[in-house]
Amino acid sequence: MKNVISTDKAPAAIGPYSQAIEVNGTVYTSGIIPVVPATGEIPEGSVAQAQQAFENLSNLLEAAGTGMDKVVKTTVFIKEMNDFAAINEVYAKFFPSPFPSRSCVEVARLPKDVMLEIEAIAVK
């Protein structure tokens, strides 16, 4: 059985999808972008956007009854591979060691023209 997870502390879905779904104690998030949930604003710069996206992810996982320490896999989509090192610095502050497995790919364009998007799989 699927359990829909949602919170107003992360950006609302902008299409026909859920913020996250839990199945058998595993939480699968949709892509999280760096939108400030309270205002709809997008911070400027890749570091500020990474900070906001990871805060949004953390809030969503908390709403699901899990946390960043329970993430086992992430996929990070970035607009510019030159931002890889800066985004890694922010990433490392949010995920405790041992770090989750991860894929990171450069993409041509992301929703709302943000610099990055992250999705995660976490256990409870």
Residues with active-site annotation: 104
CA dist 54 and 88 (Å) reads 11
85 neighbors 35 (Cβ within 8 angstroms): no
Q: How many CB atoms lie within 10 A of CB 11?
A: 25
CA dist 123 and 9 (Å) reads 20
Q: Please choose, from the candidates 55, 49, 4, 1, the residue with its C-alpha nearest in 3D space to the C-alpha of residue 29.
A: 4
